[in-house]
Structures are given as structure tokens and as C-alpha cells.
Amino acid sequence: MACRCGASIVTAPCPEKVFDRSQYAPGFVAHLVVAKCADGIPLYRLEKQCARIGVPVTRSTMTDLFHRTAELLAPLSQRIIERIGERPIVFADETGITMQSSTKHAFIWTFLAEQLIGCVFRTGRSGETPARVLGNSTGELVVEAKEDSDAFPALDLIRDMYIVEHDAETLGIIGTDAHLALWRERSRPMMARLL
């Protein structure tokens, strides 16, 4: 604001910045991270979206903002991983990816425990990553075994037991004596084979 005489000018304080020397507000940075991580939108698409609405932001700027945000949130991310390692039951899976502009492979490990989800990026597939996340945990780790042929018979039995429960639900007999009879007839023999 300025007085009519021009002798005095008052400016409002700038909104808080996420980073020093950055013109981007926290809301934009949060949108960038959510769009990329939760919605899977690549940065080149976000760049096109911003340009369409008249806000030109280059992909390299978005990449810098994304990485600076990851550094800023690293303590929070680490705490989530620590809390996952403390839970009694943890689900884990790793997904292989090809690194951008490279023929190298990397892996994103996803860990799930109660309401917590943590992801760890590694260039190797060794058991070192789950060992580091779980530490000295005495809980249970549940993983998929798609490539282990020894696990296929057990996985098939578990699938077949789910089919029995699906059939009971379709028949409308869940929780009845007929359900128990169906379980005894079809599921009990499968359970015996698992033991």
C-alpha cells in the first residue's frame, strides 16, 4: 500500500517459503509430490499441465523441488521406517524398475504395517534392505513368493481355501452349519496338506 503523497509504502510480508530463495509455495510443492508419488503422474506431464494453465515450470525445476523436498522430509520418512520395524506383522514386497537413462536395474521395497507404509529405493535386491528395516524385530514378515517354485503348492492351497469361502458366501451360508460342513469337506483336507 502507498499513501497518495508517495512518501510511505507498506508491503505485506511474503508467504512462508518451503526453501530459501524459492518462489514456490508449500501448496505447489505438496501438489508436486502427491501427483508424482501418490498419483503416478510423471514430471513431464505435470510440466505440460502447468504450461496449459499459464504457469510455466520446467521439469528440471520440478525435479529439484522434488529432491529438495525428499531431503527435507527424510527424518519423517526414516521415522516411519523405524516404526514399521517395531510392528509385530510387516508385509513386504519389492518391485524391479529400470533406472531412467540407464540399463541398470533398481528396486523399490514397500513395507506395510498396520496404517504405516514405507518405501525404500535400492540399487540391489539383497536381503540387506529388509534386514535393515526390520532390525532386531521378532515379529512376522509376510512376502510374496512368485519366483520360488517351492512355494507354489502352498500358494495354490491357500487360493483353493479362499475359493471355498467364496463359494460359501455365494451360497449364502456363511456362519451356518452348512458352512461348517463345507469347510470340513473341502478346506480341512487342504489344511492337513499344509501342515
Q: Which pLDDT tens digit goes with each residue over 143-186?
A: 765 565 677 787 788 888 888 998 999 999 999 999 999 999 99
Dump pLDDT digits (tens) for 79-122: 999 999 888 888 888 888 887 777 788 888 899 998 899 988 88
pTM for this predicted structure: 0.58
How many C-beta neighbours within 10 Å does residue 77 have?
A: 13
- pLDDT at position 193: 80
**Alpha carbon 27 to chain centroid distance?**
21
Say how far apart CA 149 and CA 161 lie, in whole Å. Answer: 20
How many C-beta neighbours within 10 Å does residue 130 have?
A: 18
Say how far apart CA 158 and CA 156 lie, in whole Å. Answer: 5
Dump pLDDT digits (tens) for 112-144: 998 899 988 888 777 788 888 888 777 777 776
**Torsion 36-39-45-51 (CA) sign:** negative
Dump pLDDT digits (tens) for 6-62: 788 888 887 777 777 778 888 889 999 999 988 989 999 999 999 999 988 999 999
List the one residue out of 28, 34, 25 whose CA is nearest residue 53: 28
Q: Which amino acid does the sequence have at 172?
A: G
